[in-house]
Amino acid sequence: MSVEVERKFLFTADTLKTLEQIGVCIGQREFHDQYFDTPQFDLTLRDMWLRKRKGCWELKCATADVDDCKQPVKATSLCTRYKEITSLPDIHTKLREVIKEDKNLTLLENIETGHKRFPLEDESWLGAMNLICFSEFTTLRRSFTVEEQGVQIDLDQADFGYDVGEIEVLLSEAEDVAAAMGKIERTAQILGLTGDQKIEGKMSVFLRRYRPEHYEKLLNAHIL
């Protein structure tokens, strides 16, 4: 399991020029994302984001703000932190903690431990937990690294007409969030990102435009 610390920003042609001077372009790729939740929004109302990208499942969960008091206010308000779970059995375990399952579902039982799990060969677990796709879109992403800062910078263009950049540091759970926020803050300064407004991510814009009821619920719950 890793922790992703990131800050989003709006980019211009000038940002791109600076990035080409201070960083190295490590590639461009396109991917299609599908996000899932129950009709009652059991996951996203807990700030949990279940996604399928290029055939792989991922669950992003908000982390507890344990050491935010050590951070400058600006860094904590502009950066987000999410744990990323990518192993499907671990994703199922986490989902089963928060979603009531269909009582008629088929679970496989480990005879030695008595633990029950969903079959991994198909996606029947989605139906068993009443998970449906609420958002899907394609992103064109250009990625850069700035080695001196140890960060990755992604410039994303979503197919529904929203462009957003992100400065990102991936940590193992034991690593230092404060140091990651410092790297992000220094990179933001080099890129000339002076604003202290939190920038909307692709999902926030998608929901606001196409799923206003869901958006409203998340806004009222202070998730977005």
Q: Least distance to ligand V4E from the beta carbon of 115, Å?
A: 29
Do the beta carbons of residue 82 and residue 59 sit within 8 Å?
no
Q: Which residues of 77-94 are buried (b: 16+ CB within 10 A; e: fewer)?
A: ebbbbbbebeebeebbeb
Q: Least distance to ligand V4E from the beta carbon of 158, Å?
A: 8
Nearer CB in complex with ligand V4E: 68/101: 68
Q: Least distance to ligand V4E from the beta carbon of 197, Å?
A: 11
R_g over Cα of the chain = 19
* Binding residues vs ligand V4E (CB under 6 A): 8, 49, 60, 80, 82, 166, 201-203, 223-224
Q: Least distance to ligand V4E from the beta carbon of 112, Å?
A: 36
Q: CA-CA distances (angstroms) from residue 34 to 69, 103, 144, 170, 196?
A: 35, 26, 24, 22, 30
Nearer CB in complex with ligand V4E: 7/92: 7
Longest alpha-carbon distance in the chain: 61
Nearer CB in complex with ligand V4E: 8/214: 8
Rounded to the nearest 10 degrees, the angle between the axes of helix 212-220 and helix 202-210 is: 120
Nearer CB in complex with ligand V4E: 4/101: 4
